[in-house]
Protein backbone atom coordinates (compact mmCIF):
# COMPACT_ATOMS: atom_id res chain seq x y z
CA UNK A 1 0.00 0.00 0.00
CA UNK A 2 1.11 3.55 -0.74
CA UNK A 3 2.01 5.83 2.14
CA UNK A 4 -0.59 8.38 3.18
CA UNK A 5 1.28 11.62 3.87
CA UNK A 6 0.46 15.01 5.35
CA UNK A 7 3.23 17.52 4.65
CA UNK A 8 3.30 21.02 6.12
CA UNK A 9 5.26 23.62 4.15
CA UNK A 10 5.82 26.65 6.39
CA UNK A 11 7.37 28.71 3.59
CA UNK A 12 8.96 31.94 4.94
CA UNK A 13 7.20 31.81 8.30
CA UNK A 14 8.11 31.14 11.95
CA UNK A 15 11.16 32.16 13.94
CA UNK A 16 13.21 29.51 15.73
CA UNK A 17 11.25 30.13 18.94
CA UNK A 18 7.91 29.83 17.13
CA UNK A 19 9.07 26.65 15.42
CA UNK A 20 10.07 25.07 18.73
CA UNK A 21 6.69 25.99 20.24
CA UNK A 22 4.89 24.34 17.32
CA UNK A 23 7.07 21.25 17.63
CA UNK A 24 6.26 20.88 21.33
CA UNK A 25 2.55 21.15 20.57
CA UNK A 26 2.80 18.60 17.77
CA UNK A 27 4.74 16.22 20.00
CA UNK A 28 1.84 16.18 22.48
CA UNK A 29 -0.96 15.88 19.95
CA UNK A 30 0.20 13.56 17.16
CA UNK A 31 -0.10 9.84 17.83
CA UNK A 32 0.83 7.01 15.49
CA UNK A 33 2.14 7.11 11.94
CA UNK A 34 -0.96 7.19 9.76
CA UNK A 35 -0.84 9.56 8.01
CA UNK A 36 2.90 10.04 7.96
CA UNK A 37 3.60 13.60 9.13
CA UNK A 38 6.27 15.74 7.45
CA UNK A 39 7.19 19.29 8.44
CA UNK A 40 9.14 21.66 6.16
CA UNK A 41 10.37 24.61 8.26
CA UNK A 42 12.89 27.25 7.25
CA UNK A 43 16.51 26.08 7.06
CA UNK A 44 17.44 27.74 10.36
CA UNK A 45 14.80 25.81 12.33
CA UNK A 46 15.41 22.27 11.07
CA UNK A 47 18.04 21.30 13.66
CA UNK A 48 16.01 22.77 16.54
CA UNK A 49 12.86 20.91 15.52
CA UNK A 50 14.91 17.76 15.05
CA UNK A 51 15.73 17.87 18.77
CA UNK A 52 12.18 18.70 19.85
CA UNK A 53 10.62 15.93 17.75
CA UNK A 54 13.25 13.27 18.46
CA UNK A 55 11.60 9.93 19.22
CA UNK A 56 8.34 10.81 17.45
CA UNK A 57 7.01 9.62 14.09
CA UNK A 58 7.23 13.15 12.66
CA UNK A 59 9.85 13.65 9.95
CA UNK A 60 11.49 16.87 8.78
CA UNK A 61 12.33 18.23 5.39
CA UNK A 62 13.88 21.27 3.76
CA UNK A 63 11.96 23.60 1.45
CA UNK A 64 14.72 23.67 -1.14
CA UNK A 65 18.38 22.84 -1.72
CA UNK A 66 21.13 23.23 -4.29
CA UNK A 67 22.51 20.29 -6.25
CA UNK A 68 26.21 20.87 -5.56
CA UNK A 69 27.89 19.55 -2.41
CA UNK A 70 29.97 22.64 -1.70
CA UNK A 71 31.55 25.63 -3.38
CA UNK A 72 31.15 29.32 -4.22
CA UNK A 73 27.34 29.39 -4.24
CA UNK A 74 26.50 32.24 -1.90
CA UNK A 75 23.21 31.79 -0.10
CA UNK A 76 22.65 28.18 -1.14
CA UNK A 77 22.29 25.07 1.03
CA UNK A 78 23.73 21.70 0.05
CA UNK A 79 22.15 18.23 0.41
CA UNK A 80 24.66 17.21 3.08
CA UNK A 81 23.90 20.37 5.09
CA UNK A 82 20.16 19.76 5.29
CA UNK A 83 20.73 16.07 5.99
CA UNK A 84 23.12 16.92 8.82
CA UNK A 85 20.49 19.25 10.31
CA UNK A 86 17.98 16.38 10.41
CA UNK A 87 16.07 16.63 7.13
CA UNK A 88 15.00 13.36 5.53
CA UNK A 89 12.92 15.00 2.79
CA UNK A 90 13.20 18.02 0.50
CA UNK A 91 10.68 19.94 -1.58
CA UNK A 92 11.88 20.44 -5.15
CA UNK A 93 10.19 22.41 -7.90
CA UNK A 94 7.59 24.10 -5.72
CA UNK A 95 5.54 26.53 -7.83
CA UNK A 96 7.02 29.48 -5.94
CA UNK A 97 10.54 28.31 -6.79
CA UNK A 98 9.52 27.89 -10.43
CA UNK A 99 7.56 31.09 -10.91
CA UNK A 100 9.13 33.56 -8.47
CA UNK A 101 12.75 32.39 -8.61
CA UNK A 102 12.78 31.15 -12.20
CA UNK A 103 13.80 27.54 -11.63
CA UNK A 104 13.33 25.45 -14.76
CA UNK A 105 12.85 21.73 -15.25
CA UNK A 106 16.53 21.14 -16.07
CA UNK A 107 17.69 22.67 -12.78
CA UNK A 108 14.96 20.84 -10.88
CA UNK A 109 16.10 17.51 -12.35
CA UNK A 110 19.64 18.12 -11.04
CA UNK A 111 18.24 18.81 -7.57
CA UNK A 112 16.10 15.67 -7.62
CA UNK A 113 19.13 13.61 -8.62
CA UNK A 114 21.32 15.18 -5.92
CA UNK A 115 18.70 14.50 -3.25
CA UNK A 116 18.44 10.83 -4.16
CA UNK A 117 22.24 10.44 -4.33
CA UNK A 118 22.39 11.82 -0.78
CA UNK A 119 19.58 9.51 0.43
CA UNK A 120 17.16 12.39 0.90
CA UNK A 121 13.61 11.77 -0.37
CA UNK A 122 12.55 14.49 -2.84
CA UNK A 123 8.96 15.62 -3.19
CA UNK A 124 8.82 16.76 -6.80
CA UNK A 125 6.14 19.42 -7.24
CA UNK A 126 4.34 19.76 -10.56
CA UNK A 127 1.37 21.79 -11.72
CA UNK A 128 -0.08 24.12 -14.32
CA UNK A 129 -0.84 27.84 -14.32
CA UNK A 130 -4.33 29.21 -14.86
CA UNK A 131 -3.39 30.19 -18.42
CA UNK A 132 -2.19 26.64 -19.16
CA UNK A 133 -5.37 25.12 -17.75
CA UNK A 134 -7.60 27.48 -19.74
CA UNK A 135 -5.74 26.53 -22.91
CA UNK A 136 -5.99 22.77 -22.30
CA UNK A 137 -2.25 22.43 -21.68
CA UNK A 138 -2.46 20.88 -18.20
CA UNK A 139 -1.59 17.32 -19.20
CA UNK A 140 1.29 18.23 -21.51
CA UNK A 141 2.79 20.70 -18.99
CA UNK A 142 2.69 18.18 -16.17
CA UNK A 143 4.07 15.36 -18.33
CA UNK A 144 7.05 17.52 -19.34
CA UNK A 145 7.68 18.51 -15.70
CA UNK A 146 7.63 14.85 -14.70
CA UNK A 147 9.76 13.51 -17.54
CA UNK A 148 12.47 16.16 -17.24
CA UNK A 149 12.34 16.41 -13.46
CA UNK A 150 12.78 12.63 -13.12
CA UNK A 151 15.16 12.21 -16.05
CA UNK A 152 18.04 11.02 -13.83
CA UNK A 153 15.87 8.75 -11.66
CA UNK A 154 16.01 5.09 -12.59
CA UNK A 155 13.99 3.61 -9.72
CA UNK A 156 10.63 4.89 -8.47
CA UNK A 157 10.96 3.79 -4.85
CA UNK A 158 12.69 6.91 -3.55
CA UNK A 159 10.58 9.95 -4.44
CA UNK A 160 7.12 11.46 -3.94
CA UNK A 161 5.08 13.62 -6.32
CA UNK A 162 2.97 16.62 -5.30
CA UNK A 163 0.39 18.02 -7.70
CA UNK A 164 -0.09 21.70 -6.95
CA UNK A 165 -2.04 23.72 -9.52
CA UNK A 166 -0.34 27.12 -9.53
CA UNK A 167 -3.69 28.91 -9.64
CA UNK A 168 -4.61 27.34 -6.28
CA UNK A 169 -1.45 28.18 -4.32
CA UNK A 170 -2.26 30.68 -1.59
CA UNK A 171 -5.36 31.91 -3.44
CA UNK A 172 -8.03 30.24 -1.35
CA UNK A 173 -9.22 28.49 -4.53
CA UNK A 174 -8.59 24.77 -4.53
CA UNK A 175 -9.13 22.28 -7.31
CA UNK A 176 -12.43 20.46 -7.07
CA UNK A 177 -12.20 16.81 -5.99
CA UNK A 178 -12.93 15.87 -9.61
CA UNK A 179 -10.15 18.12 -10.98
CA UNK A 180 -7.66 16.80 -8.42
CA UNK A 181 -8.66 13.19 -9.11
CA UNK A 182 -8.21 13.61 -12.87
CA UNK A 183 -4.82 15.29 -12.49
CA UNK A 184 -3.58 12.59 -10.12
CA UNK A 185 -4.85 9.86 -12.47
CA UNK A 186 -2.98 11.49 -15.36
CA UNK A 187 0.20 11.82 -13.28
CA UNK A 188 0.05 8.13 -12.38
CA UNK A 189 -0.41 7.24 -16.04
CA UNK A 190 2.71 9.24 -16.97
CA UNK A 191 4.65 7.55 -14.17
CA UNK A 192 3.41 4.24 -15.57
CA UNK A 193 4.84 5.11 -18.98
CA UNK A 194 8.20 5.89 -17.39
CA UNK A 195 8.52 3.15 -14.76
CA UNK A 196 5.82 0.62 -15.57
CA UNK A 197 2.24 0.42 -14.33
CA UNK A 198 2.97 -1.69 -11.25
CA UNK A 199 5.73 0.62 -10.06
CA UNK A 200 3.54 3.68 -10.64
CA UNK A 201 0.93 2.24 -8.29
CA UNK A 202 3.47 2.38 -5.46
CA UNK A 203 4.30 6.10 -5.79
CA UNK A 204 2.56 8.49 -3.40
CA UNK A 205 1.01 11.55 -5.06
CA UNK A 206 -0.02 14.45 -2.81
CA UNK A 207 -2.40 17.31 -3.58
CA UNK A 208 -1.36 20.87 -2.72
CA UNK A 209 -3.32 24.08 -3.16
CA UNK A 210 -5.43 25.87 -0.52
CA UNK A 211 -5.97 22.67 1.49
CA UNK A 212 -8.00 23.25 4.68
CA UNK A 213 -9.75 21.08 7.28
CA UNK A 214 -13.01 21.85 5.44
CA UNK A 215 -11.93 20.35 2.11
CA UNK A 216 -9.19 17.80 2.78
CA UNK A 217 -11.56 14.85 3.19
CA UNK A 218 -13.36 15.45 -0.11
CA UNK A 219 -10.02 15.73 -1.89
CA UNK A 220 -8.54 12.64 -0.23
CA UNK A 221 -11.45 10.25 -0.81
CA UNK A 222 -10.11 9.56 -4.29
CA UNK A 223 -7.84 6.54 -4.45
CA UNK A 224 -5.13 8.36 -6.43
CA UNK A 225 -4.82 11.19 -3.86
CA UNK A 226 -2.40 9.91 -1.23
CA UNK A 227 -2.33 12.93 1.06
CA UNK A 228 -1.70 16.65 1.00
CA UNK A 229 1.04 19.26 0.83
CA UNK A 230 -0.34 22.09 2.97
CA UNK A 231 0.82 25.70 3.19
CA UNK A 232 -1.05 28.25 5.29
CA UNK A 233 -3.17 25.69 7.13
CA UNK A 234 -0.01 24.03 8.46
CA UNK A 235 1.07 27.07 10.49
CA UNK A 236 -1.27 26.50 13.46
CA UNK A 237 -0.68 23.30 15.42
CA UNK A 238 -4.34 22.58 16.20
CA UNK A 239 -5.39 23.14 12.57
CA UNK A 240 -2.61 20.90 11.32
CA UNK A 241 -3.62 18.13 13.73
CA UNK A 242 -7.22 18.49 12.53
CA UNK A 243 -5.99 18.04 8.96
CA UNK A 244 -4.19 14.88 10.02
CA UNK A 245 -7.29 13.43 11.67
CA UNK A 246 -9.55 14.24 8.73
CA UNK A 247 -7.07 12.79 6.25
CA UNK A 248 -6.78 9.59 8.26
CA UNK A 249 -10.55 9.26 8.43
CA UNK A 250 -10.95 9.85 4.67
CA UNK A 251 -8.36 7.23 3.71
CA UNK A 252 -9.85 4.62 6.05
CA UNK A 253 -13.22 4.69 4.24
Catalytic residue IDs: 94, 164
Nearest to 152, CA basis, from 109, 119, 203, 192 = 109
Burial class of 7 by CB neighbour count within 10 A (0 to 12, 13 to 18, 19+): buried
Give bridge partners of residue 147 from the DSSP assignment.
none
194, 198, 202, 207: CA torsion to nearest 10:
60
Separation of alpha carbons 241 and 236, rounded Å: 9
* Angle, CA of 179, 180 and 185, to the nearest 5°: 100
Amino acid sequence: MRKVILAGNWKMNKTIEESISFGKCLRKMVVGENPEILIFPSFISISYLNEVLKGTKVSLGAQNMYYEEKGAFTGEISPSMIKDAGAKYVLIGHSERRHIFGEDDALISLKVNAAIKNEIIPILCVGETQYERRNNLTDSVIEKQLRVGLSYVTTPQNFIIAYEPVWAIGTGINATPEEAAQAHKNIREVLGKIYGENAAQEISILYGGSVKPENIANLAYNEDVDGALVGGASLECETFVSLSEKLKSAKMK
